Structure 1
Amino acid sequence: MDKDRIYLAALLHDVGKFLERAKYYGDKNLARLLLNKLEFSNKSYFFSSCLEEVIQSVLYHYEPRDDFERIIQLADWLSSSEGRDEKENTDNVDVYYKMPLQSIFGRLFKEEKKYGYKLKKMSLETIFPEDGLKEISYRDYVDDFLDELVKVNNESQLYYLLEKYLWSVPEQASGCYTDISLFDHSKTTAAIAVCLYHQYQAGELDKKELNLMTDSTKNQFLLINADISGIQDFIFNISSKGASKSLKGRSVYITLISEIVARYIIDELELKEANLLYNGGGNFYILAPACKEEKLKEVRKNILETLLNAHNGELYFAIAGLPFSPADFSNFAELWTRASRKVAELKQKKWSEIDLKSNFKKIFGPLNDGESQNNTCDVCGVSRKNRELISNEDDLKICSMCNSFIELTKEKLKEANYYIIKRGNYGENKSINNYNDVFKSFGYQIDFLKSFDNKKSSNELVYKINDTNFLEEGCDGFIFGAYNLPINEKGNLMTFEELAVRAVREGRGDKKLGVLKLDVDNLGWIFIKGFEKNKTISRITSLSRMLGLYFKGYINCLIKQKGWQNKIYVVFSGGDDTFIVGSWNTIIEFGKEFYERFRDYTCHHSKITFSAGISIFRYNFPVVKFAEITEGALERAKNFIEENEKIPGKNKISLFGEVFNWEEFKRIIEIKDVLIDIVKRNGNKRAILNKVMRSTKGFKKILEQSNKNLFDNLRFWRLVYYLRELNKNNKNDENDAEKIINIYQKIVINNLLHKKEVKKIMIIPVAVKMAEMETKKYSKGD
C-alpha cells in the first residue's frame, strides 16, 4: 500500500546518515548494505515484502523520480526547515562524525549551554545530558541497532526501535543545529508525509502544488489539540475511606482515556503512530491532513457522546482542529499556541459540539436518579439505576464503575510490567458499567500484566512499561508511566495509614502523610518564546517529548534508586506536573531530589524551573480537602512576590504555610538533618531544639544585613556564644554548636557573594519543626 510505503520510507529516510557516521560509506551504498543485511536474515518477515520499494524511496527522496518520492522530500524539508539552508559540514570528517546531540533545553532563550548526550540506547538512566561533552562514537552503537532491526516484525516495533536508538543521535551535525534528534526529525517527517499523501489522494494536492509546497499558503494540514476538563474533581472528589485504592485507578484512567481517544482519532482518520506528536497529562496533539476536518467533527461527536454516557458530564474532552498551510511550519510554536487557545475557548462552552437539548439532563443534572440514600455510591456519591452497588472489604457500597477503578489499582497496576491494548468489534456494546466498557465503546480493550508469555493475537499490541528492551520478548514497543504502587509485606496495596507509619524510624517519628503537587513554571511562555528562530515542528515536539520523559519516566527511576517504592504513592505524573502522597519525611526528601535532578536534566537553565507545594496531614484527612489545600500551597508558591520583584518569580516551594526558594528549602533540610543527629547523639534530649529555635532572633538581623551586602562581625560572634550551650551536656567529642554555626556562616557568605541567596529567617523554625516531628517518640496509639 502506498501510504504504508511512504510512512516507512519517511521513518527510515535518514537512517543512512546514522550509518554513514559509523561506517564512512556513501549514502547509497549504506542503503544497499541495510537491504542486504535484512534480506539475508531469515528473522525479519516484516521487511521481506516491502523493503525493496522502501529502500528505493529512501535512496531517491533527495532527487525524487515521482510524486510519492517528492512527498517524502517535501516532508523532510517541512519537518526541519533549517535543514534546507544549513548543509552538513563534512570537510573535517573526524570532527563531524563525533559531534553529540545537544540538549534542547540548553538552546532556549539564547543561553546556548553546551550540554550533550552520550550515544546510548534510551533508558531512564541514560536521559541526562553532560556538561561539555564534545564527542561520541557510532561504531558499536550502529552494529547493535542493525542486530535489533532484523528482529522487527511490524510498524510499531520499527517506530519504537528508532526512538530507542536515534533519540540521542543529532539530525544534523553541522555545528549550528545539533539539538534535534534524528528520531524527532524522522517521526515528524513521517507524520507530515502521511498527511501529504492523504491530501494528494483527496485531490487537494497536485504535481504543480507539490513543487511549490514549501511556500504554499493553502491549508493542507490540521493540528488537533485535545484536553480533558474536570480531572481534579474526578480524581479527588471521593470518600477518604479506602482512598488509596481509588485514587490511582482514577488517575490512570485519565491517562488511559487520553491514550484511547488519541488512538481512536488516529485510527478513524487513517493516520499513523508518528502523527501523535505529544500525549501527556490529559492533553495531546495530533498532526492530520486538512481533508479530514469534517471527519474529525464526526469523530469528536462520538467521543463526547460516549464520555457523556459514561460520566454524566463529569469529564469533558475539548477537541479542536486548527487548519494551517505549509508556509506556517516556519513558526510551529505559534500553531501549537493557537491550537491550545481554541481548546481553551471550547472549555468555556462545554458540550456545545453535541445536541444540548437531548442531552440536557446528563450535562446539567441532577446526576442522581432520585433513588434513596441506600442506593448511593459511597465513593463518588452518585446514585445510578444502571449500575448496581457492590459491598467491598472496606464496608463501602460502591457502584460498578468505582469498583472497576479499585480493581484496576489492586489487581492490575501494583506490579504491572506490561500494558496491552486490543482492537476489536466492541463498539456495539452501549452499556457502560466499568472503565473497560468505556474503552470498548471506542473499539478497544486494555489490560496490565505482571508477566507476558510472548503470545499475542494479531489485533493486540503489547508495550513494556519503563523498559526499552522490548524486542527480545516480542513486545511492540515501550511506554513510560508511574504505574507501580507501594506494597506492604503481605503483597497488598498500602493504605494511607501504612504509608504514614513509614515516617517512623527506630521508634521515633510523627505518623503523618505528606502531599506534594508541582508543575513547570511558565510552560506556555517557554514554547512561545523559548526559540528565537527555527521554531520547527521537530524542535517543538522534541521539547514536549523530553519534558514528558522526565515526569512520566524518570520519576520511577528516582523512586527506585532511593528505595522509596514503599514510601511514595504517585497519584499522577506526566506532561509537566506531578502529584504524590507518602510518608511526610520522604515527600520532603523527594521534593529536594526531584528538583535538583530536574535542574540537571534541563541544563541548569535559569528559565526552566518548577514550583511546588507540600502539605502535611493525618492519614485519614479528607482526600478532597488535602488535594485542595495542597493545590493552594502550589498557587502560593507560584504567586509569591519577593521584595525586589514586580511580578512573581516562581521557582519556589510552599511548606508549612511559608514560601521559600529552593536554596532555602535545601538549607532547611540541611539544618534539620544536623539537628536530628545532635538530638540522637545526646540521648534524644529535644530541649536542644528549643535552644536553636531561640537562635532565630539572633540570626535574623545577620541574615537581613547579608542580603544588603553587610556583615556585623560582633553580632555573629554573640550568636556563636549563645549557641555554645549545645555542647554543655555533650559527652562526645563532636562540637554541635560549631555544626549549626557553620551552616549559618555558609548562608551569610553565599549571600555576600550573591550566590544562591537565603532571605527568609523562617528556615530555622521550619527546620526545627521538622526535627521535632522526626524525633518525636512514637507509640502505636499515636
Structure 2
Amino acid sequence: MFPVKNRDIKKKDAEQEYRQLFHDFCDSLGQLYHRKENVELWSLHFDSLLKTYTSHIPAARTGMVVHDVSLYDHCRTTAALAASLYLYHSSKDDLNKSSILDGHTEKLLLVSGDFYGIQDFIFSAGGEMRHHRSKILRGRSFAVSLFTELAADMLCREIGLPFLAVIMNAAGKFHLIAPNTQDAMRAINSTETQINDWLFDISCGQSTMGITATPAATDEFTGSSFKALWQKHMSNMESRKCSRLDLNRYGGVVSGYLDRFNNELNSRLCPLCGKRPSSKEAENDKIIYRDTKGSACKICRDHVMLGTHLVKNKMLAVLDASSAPTNRTRLLCPIFDKYQVIFTDNPLEKEAAEKRLFKLWSINIDKDGTIPTGASAMLLNGYVPLYGPEDEHDDRLLSGKRSQEKTEEMIDLIKDKTPKTFAHIAAKALFVEVRDDDSTELKGTEAIGVFKADIDNLGAIFGCGLADNRFTISRIATLSRQLNNFFTVYLPHFLSTETAFQDVYTVFAGGDDLFLIGPWNRMAELALHLQDQFHNYVCKNDDIHFSAGITV
C-alpha cells in the first residue's frame, strides 16, 4: 500500500501482474457470502472485494488525463451519481434523454452527516470504571464508528438509495449523494430527528449528529465547478455546527429522568458513567461482573460488551432490532432503536435469507496483513495487545510495588487471548538489570504513555492540494480513503507484527488522527517511526505531516 519510485516495468510483466490480480479476484469472488440468500447483502461484500483489489489500480479514462483516480473510487462515485439521478428522474416521470442530459437543474443533494462531541463521548468522565477502563474506552470508540456507519445506512434506507451512494465515511463524518426531491428532504429531516432523539436519550445531550444537504446541478460535479460546490457545502456544514442541539425540542427539563431510577438495584446511579440510571436488564451482568454483583446502565454495559468481544470474534453482524435473535453479545440498547449488533463466527445465512441481516462485517485485518474476504471488510477495530503464554512467566507483570492481593488479581487476568489491562501495559515499561552476582532486579518506572496525533491542515490539503480542474469528488474520495488506510490498515498490522510495539493499545485510529496507549518508554520511539513511515506514505511530501503529543 506504500508508494514506490517509478521504475521501468516491461509490458509483459505488467500484464502478468494484472492477470494474476484478476485471477485472485475471481477466486475470492466465489468465496463471498449470501449470493443465494440475499443479493443486496452480497452486493456489499462484492463492493468490499472490489475495493480490496482495485483501489490501487488507476481508472483507465479516455482522453488526455492524469490517471490518478483509483478504479474503485471511479466506479463507486459513478454508481452513487447514477442511483440518485435514477430516483430523481423517476420521481419526475421524465426518464428520457433530454431530461437526463439537462445539467443546469439542481437534481442532486450533497449530503453529509457529522457526529458532534466525539472526544467528549469517548472520554466522558464520571463514575468509577477502574476495572473496566480499557474495555469501556475500546467500546466507546467502536460505538462512534458504528453510529456514523449506521446513520448513513439508515439515511440511505429512508431515501431508498443503495449504500453505494455513500462516497466517504471516516472520522465521525459521512458524505453521500442523494436525489433533490421533497421525499428525500423529508427523509433527511426525519432521520436526523430520530438519530438525535436517541443520542439525546443516551448521552443527556452531550453528543448529537448534524446532517447537512446542499442542492447541486450535475454540471457542478464536472470540471472546475465542483470545488466551488464543495466549499459551499463545507461552509454549510460549519454553519450547522452552530446549532448542534434544537433547544425547542430538547431544551428544558428532561421528562421522566428521575422516574428511571430503581431503588431496588445495587446502585441507582450507574457506577461506570455516573450520569445515567442503572438498568434492571444490566444488573449483575456477567460480561461486567463475572464473580461479583453490581449495577450498570444499558449503555455502559453495551460498551463493555463491545470492548470485550471485539478481540474475540472475527465478524460483526448488524440485524433488524425488531427481529434479531437472542444472543449474549447483543446490545441491550439497539442503535437508533433500529439496529441490533451481535458478534459471530458464522455468516448467518438464515437471517440473511429472511432479510433480517443488514450487514456482515469482517472487523480485523489478518495477521499476514491481508484483508479478509467472504464478508464485507470493515476495519473498525484497531490493534489491541493480548496475553500470550509468554506473559505467564514475565516477572514484570507479577512483581513491582503492589499488594499481594493486587498481584494475585493480575495473575488471574493473565489468560491466553485476553486483552491486556492498562496496569499490565504499564508494567511492560520495566526492564531487567543483571547484577554482578548474576541475580536480576527490575528497574524503571511503571507507567503508561499516551500518544495522540492528527494530520496538520487537513482542510487546506483537501481545499488547496488539488488544482481547480482536478478537484473532483472521485479524487477527494481517493485521497480520503488513502489517508484513512494509513491508520486503519497499516497501523494495526505494524503494531501486531513489530515486537517492540506489540504492547501498544489502540483507543482509536482512523480518518486523520490516532490515540494510542502503551509503555511510556516506547512511545517516543513509536512516534518517530510513525512520522518516518507517514512521510514515506505521502511520497515524502513535506507539506503533509502530522503533529503529536505524548503524556506520561
Q: Work out whether the TM-score is over 0.5.
A: yes
For the aligned residue pairs, the C-alpha RMSD in angstroms reads: 3.0
Q: Does residue 341 of the first structure (1) align with residue 242 of the second (2)?
A: no
The AA in structure 1 aligned to 2:454 is: D
Over 3 Å counting, the alpha-carbon distance change for 1:279 and 1:549 in structure 2 is same
Over 3 Å counting, the alpha-carbon distance change for 1:204 and 1:607 in structure 2 is farther
CA distance in 2 between partners of 1:419 and 1:374 (Å):
32
CA distance in 1 between partners of 2:112 and 2:347 (Å):
37
The AA in structure 1 aligned to 2:5 is: D
Over 3 Å counting, the alpha-carbon distance change for 1:204 and 1:407 in structure 2 is same
Residue of structure 2 aligned with 1:510, choices 445, 449, 452: 445
CA distance in 1 between partners of 2:347 and 2:112 (Å):
37
> What is the CA-CA distance between 1:591 and the residue it aligns to?
1.3
How does 1:491-506 map onto structure 2 within 5 Å? 491=416, 492-506=418-432
Partner of 2:148: 258
Q: Does residue 602 of the first structure (1) align with residue 538 of the second (2)?
A: yes
Q: Does residue 584 of the first structure (1) align with residue 510 of the second (2)?
A: no
Residue of structure 2 aligned with 1:527, choices 457, 462, 478: 462
Residue of structure 1 aligned with 2:170, choices 258, 270, 280: 280
Deviations 1:46-92, CA, capped at 9 Å, x for gaps: xxxxxxxxxxxxxxxxxxxxxxxxxxxxxxxxxxxxxxxxxxxxxxx
For structure 1, the 5+ residue unaligned runs are 1-126, 428-433, 617-782
Partner of 1:487: 386
CA distance in 1 between partners of 2:252 and 2:100 (Å):
51
Partner of 2:219: 327
Q: Does residue 246 of the first structure (1) align with residue 182 of the second (2)?
A: no
Partner of 1:441: 337
> What is the CA-CA distance between 1:333 and the residue it aligns to?
4.1
Deviations 1:309-337, CA, capped at 9 Å, x for gaps: 23221210111111111121134344344
Deviations 1:340-386, CA, capped at 9 Å, x for gaps: 3323322222232x8526x63349x9899789995222221114276
CA distance in 1 between partners of 2:241 and 2:257 (Å):
21
The AA in structure 1 aligned to 2:72 is: F
The AA in structure 2 aligned to 1:207 is: N
> What is the CA-CA distance between 1:133 and the residue it aligns to?
3.8
Q: Name the SS of the counterpart of 1:140 in structure 2.
A: helix
> What is the CA-CA distance between 1:435 and the residue it aligns to?
4.8
Partner of 2:277: 384
Over 3 Å counting, the alpha-carbon distance change for 1:328 and 1:564 in structure 2 is farther
CA distance in 1 between partners of 2:160 and 2:100 (Å):
25
CA distance in 1 between partners of 2:530 and 2:293 (Å):
37
> What is the CA-CA distance between 1:564 and the residue it aligns to?
5.7
Q: Name the SS of the counterpart of 1:223 in structure 2.
A: strand
Q: Does residue 570 of the first structure (1) align with residue 506 of the second (2)?
A: yes
Partner of 2:89: 200
Residue of structure 1 aligned with 2:60, choices 172, 190, 202: 172
Partner of 1:188: 77
Q: Name the SS of the counterpart of 2:249 in structure 1.
A: coil
Deviations 1:85-119, CA, capped at 9 Å, x for gaps: xxxxxxxxxxxxxxxxxxxxxxxxxxxxxxxxxxx
Q: Percent same amino acid among aligned pairs?
A: 27
The AA in structure 2 aligned to 1:227 is: D
Partner of 2:403: none
Q: Name the SS of the counterpart of 1:309 in structure 2.
A: helix
CA distance in 1 between partners of 2:193 and 2:282 (Å):
30
Partner of 1:416: 313
Residue of structure 2 aligned with 1:398, choices 296, 302, 316: 296
CA distance in 2 between partners of 1:416 and 1:334 (Å):
45
Residue of structure 1 aligned with 2:117, choices 218, 221, 230: 230
Does the CA contact (< 8 Å) of 2:155 and 2:191 recur in 1? yes
Partner of 2:377: 478
The AA in structure 2 aligned to 1:140 is: Q
The AA in structure 1 aligned to 2:177 is: L
| Higher helix residue share | 1
Partner of 1:25: none
Q: Name the SS of the counterpart of 1:613 in structure 2.
A: strand
Does the CA contact (< 8 Å) of 1:228 and 1:283 recur in 2? yes
> What is the CA-CA distance between 1:462 and the residue it aligns to?
2.3
Q: Name the SS of the counterpart of 1:180 in structure 2.
A: coil
Over 3 Å counting, the alpha-carbon distance change for 1:274 and 1:151 in structure 2 is same
CA distance in 2 between partners of 1:226 and 1:282 (Å):
8
Does the CA contact (< 8 Å) of 1:367 and 1:382 recur in 2? no
Deviations 1:594-627, CA, capped at 9 Å, x for gaps: 22111111111121111101111xxxxxxxxxxx
Partner of 2:529: 593
For structure 2, the 5+ residue unaligned runs are 36-41, 325-329, 388-413, 433-441
Over 3 Å counting, the alpha-carbon distance change for 1:204 and 1:317 in structure 2 is farther
Over 3 Å counting, the alpha-carbon distance change for 1:298 and 1:494 in structure 2 is same
Does the CA contact (< 8 Å) of 2:58 and 2:70 recur in 1? yes
Q: Name the SS of the counterpart of 2:130 in structure 1.
A: coil
Deviations 1:125-149, CA, capped at 9 Å, x for gaps: xx11111245433233223334444
Partner of 1:350: 244
Residue of structure 2 aligned with 1:145, choices 9, 17, 25: 25
The AA in structure 1 aligned to 2:377 is: F
Does the CA contact (< 8 Å) of 2:195 and 2:336 recur in 1? no
CA distance in 2 between partners of 1:581 and 1:355 (Å):
41
Deviations 1:661-704, CA, capped at 9 Å, x for gaps: xxxxxxxxxxxxxxxxxxxxxxxxxxxxxxxxxxxxxxxxxxxx
Over 3 Å counting, the alpha-carbon distance change for 1:367 and 1:132 in structure 2 is farther
Does the CA contact (< 8 Å) of 1:225 and 1:340 recur in 2? no
Does the CA contact (< 8 Å) of 2:383 and 2:496 recur in 1? no
The AA in structure 2 aligned to 1:527 is: F
Over 3 Å counting, the alpha-carbon distance change for 1:147 and 1:245 in structure 2 is closer
Q: Name the SS of the counterpart of 1:441 in structure 2.
A: coil
Does the CA contact (< 8 Å) of 2:451 and 2:550 recur in 1? yes
Deviations 1:458-507, CA, capped at 9 Å, x for gaps: 13332223256644xxx332122334422234133322111100111223
Does the CA contact (< 8 Å) of 1:235 and 1:251 recur in 2? yes
> What is the CA-CA distance between 1:512 and the residue it aligns to?
0.9
Does the CA contact (< 8 Å) of 2:113 and 2:211 recur in 1? yes
CA distance in 2 between partners of 1:440 and 1:417 (Å):
24
Does the CA contact (< 8 Å) of 1:261 and 1:303 recur in 2? yes
CA distance in 2 between partners of 1:367 and 1:563 (Å):
51
CA distance in 2 between partners of 1:592 and 1:205 (Å):
58
Q: Does residue 220 of the first structure (1) align with residue 107 of the second (2)?
A: yes
Does the CA contact (< 8 Å) of 1:519 and 1:611 recur in 2? yes
> What is the CA-CA distance between 1:285 and the residue it aligns to?
0.7
Does the CA contact (< 8 Å) of 2:298 and 2:332 recur in 1? no
CA distance in 2 between partners of 1:326 and 1:487 (Å):
50
Q: Name the SS of the counterpart of 1:313 in structure 2.
A: coil
Partner of 2:435: none
Over 3 Å counting, the alpha-carbon distance change for 1:148 and 1:529 in structure 2 is same
Does the CA contact (< 8 Å) of 2:107 and 2:179 recur in 1? yes
CA distance in 2 between partners of 1:367 and 1:549 (Å):
45
Deviations 1:631-650, CA, capped at 9 Å, x for gaps: xxxxxxxxxxxxxxxxxxxx
Between the two proteins, the alignment pairs up a number of residues equal to 474
Over 3 Å counting, the alpha-carbon distance change for 1:423 and 1:403 in structure 2 is closer
Over 3 Å counting, the alpha-carbon distance change for 1:332 and 1:504 in structure 2 is farther
Partner of 1:558: 494
CA distance in 2 between partners of 1:262 and 1:543 (Å):
20
The AA in structure 1 aligned to 2:187 is: K
Over 3 Å counting, the alpha-carbon distance change for 1:265 and 1:383 in structure 2 is closer
Does the CA contact (< 8 Å) of 2:60 and 2:67 recur in 1? yes
Does the CA contact (< 8 Å) of 2:129 and 2:273 recur in 1? no
